[in-house]
């Protein structure tokens, strides 16, 4: 293991010899400098892991040296050491992005704790997380095997996501172990969905896509609140966790829960169900002009505003609504600025943000995007980077400034697929690779979740003999006559439409 390298710059460095000996005994290599210029040279030549910098040195002062170091090596942590407790010096040092600040006289343990925090911290956290996960592994495996209810699977998924963040820097073998538990949990979840999905639809105790308006939006309107329903397409629970800290810097999270996206976990079904307050079969029967069939080439979500208004008409409520679909940052900036100039008058504002959906689709089609988002951690990093640098948070802030309660959610998540499963269908079978609907489907019943009577689960049937099949865990459907193409092209891409924790258990967050 590489020995951490410490640079200590102080004009009285000879008096600090005991500190050097102490740190070397603790496993650190220490190099020294008695002036700022030499310190800068050593930073460039030796690339230390951390710099201890005296604030009051002749020639280049500590603050001047700090500025040059940050220009040359912005990533290296610098700890300022000073005799002064003057506020303006602290503020200037902190403004220059120091890692820490120590007041003389310092003792060896202070220095050691600072090193552990800034140099060894990641490794120590990783070691602790690895040890904790090893201890919990067997118990957690048992919990997964015994999970049987919707709420229990929500708890399992929360734990899996928590561990995925805690083990992000752990040994690859630990991440592989976690991936195995993810797979085990998804297999158990698929088994329960096959058995209980219809019961979930019948139960008022489980929040699902078609119940969001009635149970989450209407009660707030009855409480004389204005509501902004923000739907980020393809927004998984772990992606919410990745951006949560960014949001909480500006806004307060009032509550957080999971709900169950209906099947198929795709825009045509799940998102239309949110905006209508109905199951897809009910939309087709009540509003045939607002339902787009599988075979139609028209956009499958072009009537969301009309479906939203129709919901309030059925409730006999005179609710004014506004609807915006955001496909690019420039439009998001424009509508935010428009809101500032002319405050919104609607009781309900619906905003659909399509960035993550576009990201997942572009990743499938672009080799460069596959490289940028090669796995889940990279995919989460891209999501976080987008959120940090997009005007989305400014939009949230403006809606809050105008008094709206924000309900942040999604229509469904996505799943990174690996395993092609053969299925045969006629030319009218839909193209989605995580679910198929058709009248002449041929498949291995053990490899899919099949519903042969679509009306029992609230889905329209294009033909009297049509039924739906869903891929589970990391599977995706491929046709035998072009099997190798499908297998190579779609393997390791993010898809949706099927049955998995990631696609079906999605976040619903109230922001105030």
Supply the pLDDT for residue 462.
Answer: 85
The pLDDT of 387-412, averaged and rounded, is: 96
The pLDDT of 35-55, averaged and rounded, is: 92
Q: Is the pLDDT of residue 15 over 70?
A: yes
- Of all residues in the chain, the percent with pLDDT exceeding 90 is 63
pLDDT digits (tens, 9 = 90+) for 289-342: 999 887 665 576 889 999 999 999 999 999 999 999 999 889 999 999 999 999
Q: Which residues contact 279 (CB under 8 A, 6 or more apart)?
A: 201, 210, 262, 273, 458, 459
Pairing of strands 415-416, 494-495: antiparallel
Supply the pLDDT for residue 187.
Answer: 97
Supply the pLDDT for residue 141.
Answer: 94
Domains annotated on the chain, with CATH: 5-119 (3.40.50.2300), 123-201 (no CATH), 207-415 (no CATH), 418-491 (no CATH)
Lowest mean pLDDT among 64-68, 402-406, 494-498: 64-68
The pLDDT of 115-125, averaged and rounded, is: 70
Q: What DSSP state is assigned to residue 13?
A: G
Backbone angles phi, psi at 18, to 5 degrees: -60, -35
Lowest mean pLDDT among 77-81, 99-103, 152-156, 431-435: 99-103
Lowest mean pLDDT among 70-74, 122-126, 175-179: 122-126
Short-list 86, 19, 13, CA closest to 53: 13
Residue with more model confidence, 503 or 168: 503
Q: Is the pLDDT of residue 507 over 90?
A: yes
Question: Where does the pLDDT of residue 371 fall: very low under 50, low under 70, confident under 90, or very high at 90 and above?
Answer: low
Name the token pair of 204: 């008022």
**Side by side, which strands form the sheet with 5-9?**
29-33, 5-9, 50-54, 78-82, 100-103
Supply the pLDDT for residue 90.
Answer: 58
Question: Where does the pLDDT of residue 63 fall: very low under 50, low under 70, confident under 90, or very high at 90 and above?
Answer: confident
The pLDDT of 194-221, averaged and rounded, is: 97
The pLDDT of 40-50, averaged and rounded, is: 92
Mean pLDDT over the full length of the chain: 90
Task: Convert 163-184 into a string of H (helix), E (strand) and C (coil).
Answer: HHHHCCCCCHHHHHHHHHHHHH
Q: Is the pLDDT of residue 228 over 80?
A: yes
Short-list 292, 281, 286, 211, CA closest to 454: 281
pLDDT digits (tens, 9 = 90+) for 257-301: 999 999 999 999 999 999 999 999 999 999 999 998 876 655 768
- Of all residues in the chain, the percent with pLDDT exceeding 70 is 91
Task: Convert 445-470 into a string of H (helix), E (strand) and C (coil).
Answer: HHHCEEECCHHHHCCCCCCCCCEEEE
Q: Is the pLDDT of residue 220 over 90?
A: yes
CA distance 35 to 40: 9
Q: What DSSP state is assigned to residue 16?
A: G
Widest pairwise Cα distance in the chain: 90
């Amino acid at each position: 293991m590489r020995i951490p390298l410490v640079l200590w710059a102080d004009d009285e460095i000879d008096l600090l010899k005991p500190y050097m000996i102490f740190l070397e005994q603790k496993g650190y290599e220490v190099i020294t400098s008695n002036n700022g210029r030499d310190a800068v040279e050593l930073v460039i030549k030796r690339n230390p892991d951390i710099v201890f910098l005296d604030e009051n040195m002749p020639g280049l002062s500590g603050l001047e040296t700090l500025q040059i170091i940050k220009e040359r090596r912005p990533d290296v942590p610098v700890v300022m050491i000073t005799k002064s407790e003057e506020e303006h010096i602290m503020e200037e040092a902190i403004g220059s992005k120091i890692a820490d600040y120590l007041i003389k006289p310092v003792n060896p343990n202070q220095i050691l704790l600072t090193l552990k925090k800034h140099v060894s911290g990641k490794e120590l956290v990783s070691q602790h997380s690895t040890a904790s996960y090893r201890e919990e592994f067997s118990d957690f495996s048992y919990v997964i095997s015994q999970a049987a209810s919707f709420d229990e699977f929500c708890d399992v998924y929360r734990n899996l996501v928590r561990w995925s963040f805690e083990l992000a820097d752990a040994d690859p073998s630990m991440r592989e172990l976690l991936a195995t538990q993810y797979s085990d949990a998804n297999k158990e979840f698929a088994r329960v969905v096959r058995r209980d999905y219809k019961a979930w639809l019948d139960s008022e105790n489980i929040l699902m896509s078609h119940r969001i308006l009635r149970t989450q939006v209407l009660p707030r309107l009855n409480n004389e609140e204005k509501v902004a329903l923000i739907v980020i397409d393809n927004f998984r629970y772990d992606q919410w966790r990745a951006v949560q800290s960014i949001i909480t810097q500006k806004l307060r999270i009032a509550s957080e829960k999971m709900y169950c996206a209906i099947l198929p976990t795709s825009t045509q079904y799940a998102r239309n169900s949110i905006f209508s307050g109905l199951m897809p079969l009910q939309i087709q029967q009540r509003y045939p002009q607002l339902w787009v069939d599988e075979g139609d080439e028209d956009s499958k979500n072009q009537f969301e505003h009309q479906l939203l208004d129709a919901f309030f008409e059925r409730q006999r409520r005179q609710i004014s609504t506004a609807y915006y679909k955001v496909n690019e940052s420039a439009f998001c900036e424009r509508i935010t600025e428009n809101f500032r100039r002319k405050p919104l008058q609607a009781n309900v504002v619906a905003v659909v943000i399509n960035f993550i959906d576009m990201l997942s689709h572009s990743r499938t089609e672009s080799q460069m995007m596959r490289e940028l988002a090669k796995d889940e951690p990279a995919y989460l990093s891209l999501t976080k980077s987008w959120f940090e640098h997009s005007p989305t948070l400014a939009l949230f802030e403006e809606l809050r400034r105008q008094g709206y309660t924000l309900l942040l959610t999604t229509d469904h998540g996505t799943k990174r697929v690996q395993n092609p499963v053969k299925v045969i269908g006629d030319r009218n079978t839909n193209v989605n690779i995580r679910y198929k609907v058709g009248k002449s489907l041929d498949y291995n019943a053990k490899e899919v979740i099949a519903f042969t009577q679509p009306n029992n689960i609230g889905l329209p049937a294009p033909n009297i003999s049509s039924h739906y099949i869903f891929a589970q865990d990391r599977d995706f459907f491929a046709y035998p006559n072009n099997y190798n193409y499908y297998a190579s092209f779609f393997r390791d891409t993010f898809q949706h439409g099927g049955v998995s924790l990631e696609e079906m258990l999605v976040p619903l967050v109230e922001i105030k």
